[in-house]
Protein backbone atom coordinates (compact mmCIF):
# COMPACT_ATOMS: atom_id res chain seq x y z
CA UNK A 1 0.00 0.00 0.00
CA UNK A 2 1.40 3.35 -1.03
CA UNK A 3 1.78 5.97 1.67
CA UNK A 4 2.14 8.75 -0.90
CA UNK A 5 -1.14 10.66 -0.97
CA UNK A 6 -0.12 12.52 -4.15
CA UNK A 7 -0.06 9.25 -6.12
CA UNK A 8 -3.82 9.48 -6.64
CA UNK A 9 -4.11 13.22 -7.31
CA UNK A 10 -5.32 13.97 -10.84
CA UNK A 11 -6.30 17.63 -10.62
CA UNK A 12 -5.59 21.07 -12.07
CA UNK A 13 -4.16 20.82 -15.59
CA UNK A 14 -3.25 17.13 -15.20
CA UNK A 15 -6.44 15.67 -16.76
CA UNK A 16 -6.12 17.78 -19.92
CA UNK A 17 -2.40 17.05 -20.34
CA UNK A 18 -3.03 13.36 -19.59
CA UNK A 19 -5.66 13.20 -22.34
CA UNK A 20 -3.62 15.16 -24.88
CA UNK A 21 -0.25 13.48 -24.36
CA UNK A 22 -0.47 10.21 -22.43
CA UNK A 23 -3.62 8.79 -24.00
CA UNK A 24 -2.16 8.59 -27.54
CA UNK A 25 1.31 7.80 -26.22
CA UNK A 26 0.62 4.74 -24.08
CA UNK A 27 -3.09 4.12 -23.46
CA UNK A 28 -4.79 3.89 -26.87
CA UNK A 29 -3.30 0.54 -27.98
CA UNK A 30 -4.46 -1.18 -24.81
CA UNK A 31 -7.89 0.46 -24.91
CA UNK A 32 -8.43 -1.06 -28.35
CA UNK A 33 -7.29 -4.44 -27.03
CA UNK A 34 -9.73 -4.40 -24.11
CA UNK A 35 -12.58 -3.38 -26.42
CA UNK A 36 -11.80 -6.30 -28.74
CA UNK A 37 -11.83 -8.71 -25.82
CA UNK A 38 -15.26 -7.51 -24.68
CA UNK A 39 -16.63 -7.44 -28.23
CA UNK A 40 -15.99 -11.19 -28.50
CA UNK A 41 -18.37 -11.87 -25.60
CA UNK A 42 -22.12 -11.65 -25.19
CA UNK A 43 -22.52 -8.73 -22.81
CA UNK A 44 -25.38 -6.30 -22.22
CA UNK A 45 -24.27 -4.30 -19.18
CA UNK A 46 -20.65 -3.17 -18.74
CA UNK A 47 -19.11 -1.34 -15.81
CA UNK A 48 -15.80 0.42 -16.26
CA UNK A 49 -13.88 1.36 -13.13
CA UNK A 50 -11.01 3.86 -12.98
CA UNK A 51 -12.05 5.11 -16.41
CA UNK A 52 -9.79 8.16 -16.32
CA UNK A 53 -10.42 10.46 -19.27
CA UNK A 54 -12.40 7.79 -21.12
CA UNK A 55 -10.05 6.22 -23.65
CA UNK A 56 -11.41 2.71 -22.97
CA UNK A 57 -14.96 4.04 -22.73
CA UNK A 58 -14.70 5.49 -26.22
CA UNK A 59 -13.20 2.27 -27.57
CA UNK A 60 -16.01 0.22 -26.00
CA UNK A 61 -18.67 2.58 -27.35
CA UNK A 62 -17.27 2.20 -30.86
CA UNK A 63 -16.72 -1.57 -30.76
CA UNK A 64 -19.86 -2.84 -29.04
CA UNK A 65 -23.48 -2.93 -30.24
CA UNK A 66 -25.65 0.07 -29.44
CA UNK A 67 -27.82 -1.97 -27.08
CA UNK A 68 -24.87 -2.58 -24.71
CA UNK A 69 -25.14 -0.23 -21.73
CA UNK A 70 -21.84 1.28 -20.55
CA UNK A 71 -21.33 2.95 -17.18
CA UNK A 72 -17.89 4.53 -16.79
CA UNK A 73 -16.73 5.48 -13.29
CA UNK A 74 -13.69 7.07 -11.71
CA UNK A 75 -12.73 8.26 -8.26
CA UNK A 76 -11.55 11.62 -9.64
CA UNK A 77 -14.36 13.85 -10.87
CA UNK A 78 -11.83 16.05 -12.71
CA UNK A 79 -10.90 13.10 -14.92
CA UNK A 80 -14.56 12.38 -15.69
CA UNK A 81 -15.13 16.05 -16.49
CA UNK A 82 -12.30 15.85 -19.02
CA UNK A 83 -13.71 12.59 -20.42
CA UNK A 84 -17.10 14.22 -20.97
CA UNK A 85 -15.47 16.93 -23.12
CA UNK A 86 -14.22 14.42 -25.70
CA UNK A 87 -16.52 13.32 -28.51
CA UNK A 88 -17.87 9.78 -28.19
CA UNK A 89 -19.75 7.70 -30.74
CA UNK A 90 -22.83 7.18 -28.56
CA UNK A 91 -24.09 8.09 -25.11
CA UNK A 92 -22.58 6.46 -22.03
CA UNK A 93 -23.15 7.16 -18.36
CA UNK A 94 -20.31 8.91 -16.52
CA UNK A 95 -20.41 8.49 -12.75
CA UNK A 96 -18.06 9.32 -9.90
CA UNK A 97 -17.45 6.19 -7.83
CA UNK A 98 -14.85 4.61 -5.60
CA UNK A 99 -13.77 1.16 -6.80
CA UNK A 100 -13.41 0.19 -3.15
CA UNK A 101 -17.12 0.73 -2.53
CA UNK A 102 -19.11 0.58 -5.75
CA UNK A 103 -22.60 2.13 -5.62
CA UNK A 104 -24.25 -0.71 -7.55
CA UNK A 105 -26.36 -3.69 -6.56
CA UNK A 106 -25.04 -7.24 -6.55
CA UNK A 107 -25.02 -9.06 -9.91
CA UNK A 108 -25.70 -5.95 -12.01
CA UNK A 109 -23.16 -6.36 -14.82
CA UNK A 110 -22.00 -8.92 -17.37
CA UNK A 111 -18.49 -7.46 -17.43
CA UNK A 112 -16.31 -5.21 -15.33
CA UNK A 113 -13.36 -3.64 -17.11
CA UNK A 114 -10.48 -1.58 -15.80
CA UNK A 115 -7.47 -0.22 -17.68
CA UNK A 116 -4.41 0.73 -15.62
CA UNK A 117 -6.38 1.52 -12.49
CA UNK A 118 -5.77 -1.49 -10.26
CA UNK A 119 -2.28 -0.29 -9.39
CA UNK A 120 -3.83 2.70 -7.59
CA UNK A 121 -6.27 0.71 -5.43
CA UNK A 122 -5.06 0.93 -1.81
CA UNK A 123 -6.64 -2.44 -0.98
CA UNK A 124 -6.61 -4.50 -4.15
CA UNK A 125 -8.45 -7.59 -2.82
CA UNK A 126 -11.23 -5.33 -1.56
CA UNK A 127 -11.55 -3.57 -4.93
CA UNK A 128 -11.48 -6.90 -6.76
CA UNK A 129 -14.13 -8.25 -4.37
CA UNK A 130 -16.34 -5.28 -5.27
CA UNK A 131 -15.87 -6.06 -8.97
CA UNK A 132 -16.84 -9.67 -8.28
CA UNK A 133 -19.86 -8.61 -6.22
CA UNK A 134 -21.40 -6.54 -9.01
CA UNK A 135 -20.78 -9.23 -11.64
CA UNK A 136 -23.52 -11.62 -12.64
CA UNK A 137 -22.77 -15.36 -12.46
CA UNK A 138 -20.64 -16.21 -15.48
CA UNK A 139 -19.56 -12.59 -15.85
CA UNK A 140 -16.00 -11.54 -16.59
CA UNK A 141 -13.55 -9.14 -14.97
CA UNK A 142 -10.92 -7.88 -17.43
CA UNK A 143 -8.20 -5.47 -16.42
CA UNK A 144 -4.75 -4.35 -17.44
CA UNK A 145 -1.74 -3.28 -15.39
CA UNK A 146 1.67 -2.17 -16.53
CA UNK A 147 4.50 -4.66 -16.56
CA UNK A 148 7.78 -3.73 -14.84
CA UNK A 149 9.13 -0.27 -15.58
CA UNK A 150 12.19 -1.64 -17.38
CA UNK A 151 9.80 -2.92 -20.09
CA UNK A 152 8.33 0.58 -20.47
CA UNK A 153 11.21 2.53 -21.87
CA UNK A 154 10.11 6.17 -21.79
CA UNK A 155 8.89 5.92 -18.20
CA UNK A 156 12.11 4.21 -17.17
CA UNK A 157 14.25 6.93 -18.76
CA UNK A 158 12.22 9.65 -17.04
CA UNK A 159 12.60 7.92 -13.66
CA UNK A 160 16.37 7.58 -14.09
CA UNK A 161 16.72 11.21 -15.18
CA UNK A 162 14.81 12.51 -12.17
CA UNK A 163 16.79 10.29 -9.82
CA UNK A 164 19.95 11.97 -11.10
CA UNK A 165 18.37 15.41 -10.64
CA UNK A 166 17.12 14.72 -7.10
CA UNK A 167 19.63 12.16 -5.76
CA UNK A 168 18.74 12.71 -2.10
CA UNK A 169 15.03 12.02 -2.62
CA UNK A 170 14.37 10.60 -6.10
CA UNK A 171 10.79 10.93 -7.41
CA UNK A 172 9.63 7.32 -7.60
CA UNK A 173 5.95 7.69 -8.46
CA UNK A 174 6.20 5.88 -11.79
CA UNK A 175 8.15 2.87 -10.48
CA UNK A 176 6.21 2.82 -7.19
CA UNK A 177 2.64 2.96 -8.43
CA UNK A 178 1.83 2.72 -12.17
CA UNK A 179 4.65 0.21 -12.74
CA UNK A 180 4.64 -1.33 -9.28
CA UNK A 181 1.99 -4.07 -9.60
CA UNK A 182 3.32 -6.60 -12.09
CA UNK A 183 3.95 -9.73 -10.02
CA UNK A 184 1.67 -12.36 -11.51
CA UNK A 185 1.54 -14.48 -8.37
CA UNK A 186 0.56 -11.44 -6.30
CA UNK A 187 -2.20 -10.56 -8.78
CA UNK A 188 -3.55 -14.12 -8.71
CA UNK A 189 -3.40 -14.18 -4.90
CA UNK A 190 -5.29 -10.88 -4.68
CA UNK A 191 -8.01 -12.23 -6.97
CA UNK A 192 -8.33 -15.39 -4.85
CA UNK A 193 -8.52 -13.26 -1.72
CA UNK A 194 -11.35 -11.34 -3.42
CA UNK A 195 -13.34 -14.54 -3.84
CA UNK A 196 -12.61 -15.46 -7.46
CA UNK A 197 -12.34 -19.22 -7.75
CA UNK A 198 -11.38 -19.54 -11.41
CA UNK A 199 -7.71 -19.20 -12.28
CA UNK A 200 -7.01 -15.90 -14.02
CA UNK A 201 -5.49 -15.69 -17.47
CA UNK A 202 -2.57 -13.25 -17.34
CA UNK A 203 -0.85 -12.41 -20.62
CA UNK A 204 1.97 -9.99 -21.41
CA UNK A 205 1.14 -7.63 -24.24
CA UNK A 206 4.02 -5.59 -25.70
CA UNK A 207 3.39 -2.59 -27.92
CA UNK A 208 5.20 0.45 -29.28
CA UNK A 209 4.93 4.01 -28.02
CA UNK A 210 5.60 6.72 -30.59
CA UNK A 211 5.74 10.51 -30.37
CA UNK A 212 6.85 13.39 -32.63
CA UNK A 213 9.65 14.31 -30.23
CA UNK A 214 11.23 13.38 -26.90
CA UNK A 215 9.53 16.38 -25.34
CA UNK A 216 6.07 14.82 -25.69
CA UNK A 217 6.56 11.78 -23.40
CA UNK A 218 8.64 13.86 -20.99
CA UNK A 219 5.96 16.54 -20.74
CA UNK A 220 3.12 14.01 -20.49
CA UNK A 221 4.76 11.98 -17.74
CA UNK A 222 6.22 14.88 -15.73
CA UNK A 223 3.25 17.23 -15.97
CA UNK A 224 0.25 15.06 -16.91
CA UNK A 225 0.48 12.51 -14.09
CA UNK A 226 0.81 12.54 -10.29
CA UNK A 227 4.57 12.58 -10.85
CA UNK A 228 4.04 16.33 -11.17
CA UNK A 229 2.95 16.61 -7.55
CA UNK A 230 5.98 14.66 -6.38
CA UNK A 231 8.35 16.92 -8.34
CA UNK A 232 6.63 20.07 -7.09
CA UNK A 233 6.78 18.82 -3.50
CA UNK A 234 10.54 18.58 -3.87
CA UNK A 235 10.94 21.96 -5.60
CA UNK A 236 8.02 23.55 -7.47
CA UNK A 237 10.37 25.98 -9.23
CA UNK A 238 12.17 23.08 -10.95
CA UNK A 239 9.20 21.44 -12.73
CA UNK A 240 10.22 22.79 -16.14
CA UNK A 241 13.84 21.84 -15.51
CA UNK A 242 12.74 18.33 -14.57
CA UNK A 243 10.70 18.08 -17.77
CA UNK A 244 13.68 19.29 -19.81
CA UNK A 245 16.03 16.78 -18.19
CA UNK A 246 13.55 13.96 -18.84
CA UNK A 247 13.28 15.04 -22.50
CA UNK A 248 17.05 15.13 -22.84
CA UNK A 249 17.34 11.63 -21.41
CA UNK A 250 14.76 10.26 -23.85
CA UNK A 251 16.43 12.06 -26.76
CA UNK A 252 19.83 10.64 -25.86
CA UNK A 253 18.49 7.11 -26.11
CA UNK A 254 15.88 7.41 -28.86
CA UNK A 255 17.06 10.36 -30.97
CA UNK A 256 16.25 14.04 -31.35
CA UNK A 257 13.39 13.58 -33.83
CA UNK A 258 10.49 11.16 -33.65
CA UNK A 259 10.85 8.67 -30.81
CA UNK A 260 9.75 5.04 -30.64
CA UNK A 261 9.95 3.04 -27.41
CA UNK A 262 8.70 -0.24 -26.03
CA UNK A 263 5.74 -0.44 -23.69
CA UNK A 264 4.36 -3.60 -22.11
CA UNK A 265 1.28 -4.42 -20.08
CA UNK A 266 -0.28 -7.46 -18.42
CA UNK A 267 -3.89 -8.18 -19.35
CA UNK A 268 -5.81 -10.17 -16.74
CA UNK A 269 -9.06 -12.04 -17.42
CA UNK A 270 -11.00 -13.90 -14.74
CA UNK A 271 -14.53 -15.30 -14.77
CA UNK A 272 -16.95 -15.29 -11.86
Q: Print burial letters for 46-77: b (CB count within 10 Å at least 16), e (below 16).
A: bbbbbbbbbbbbbbbbebbeeebbbbbbbbbe
Whole-number pLDDT of residue 256: 87
Whole-number pLDDT of residue 1: 36
Whole-number pLDDT of residue 3: 44
Spatial contact of 165 and 242, defined as CB atoms under 8 Å apart? yes
- Nearby residues of 174 by Cβ (< 8 Å), 6 or more positions away: 149, 155, 158, 159, 221, 225, 227
Over range 119-133, report the average pLDDT: 97
Q: What is the pLDDT of residues 148-199, one digit of tens each?
A: 999 999 999 999 999 999 999 999 999 999 999 999 999 999 999 999 999 9
Q: State yes or no: pLDDT of 8 exceeds 70.
A: no
d(CA 108, CA 237): 48
Domains and CATH numbers, the chain: 5-271 (3.40.50.150)
Whole-number pLDDT of residue 225: 95
Whole-number pLDDT of residue 12: 83
Q: What is the pLDDT of residues 197-244, one digit of tens each?
A: 999 999 999 999 999 999 999 999 999 999 999 999 999 999 999 999
d(CA 50, CA 120): 9
Residue 28 burial by CB count (10 A; 0-12/13-18/19+): exposed, middle or buried?
A: middle
pTM for the model stands at: 0.94
Amino acid sequence: MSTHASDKVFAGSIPQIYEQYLVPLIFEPYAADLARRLASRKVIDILEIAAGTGVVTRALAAALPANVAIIATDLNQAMLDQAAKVAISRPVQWRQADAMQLPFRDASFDAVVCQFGAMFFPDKPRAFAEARRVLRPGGVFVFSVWDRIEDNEFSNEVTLALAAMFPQNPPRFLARTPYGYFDRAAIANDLRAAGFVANPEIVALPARSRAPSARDPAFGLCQGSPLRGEIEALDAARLEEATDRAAEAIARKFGAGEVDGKIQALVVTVNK
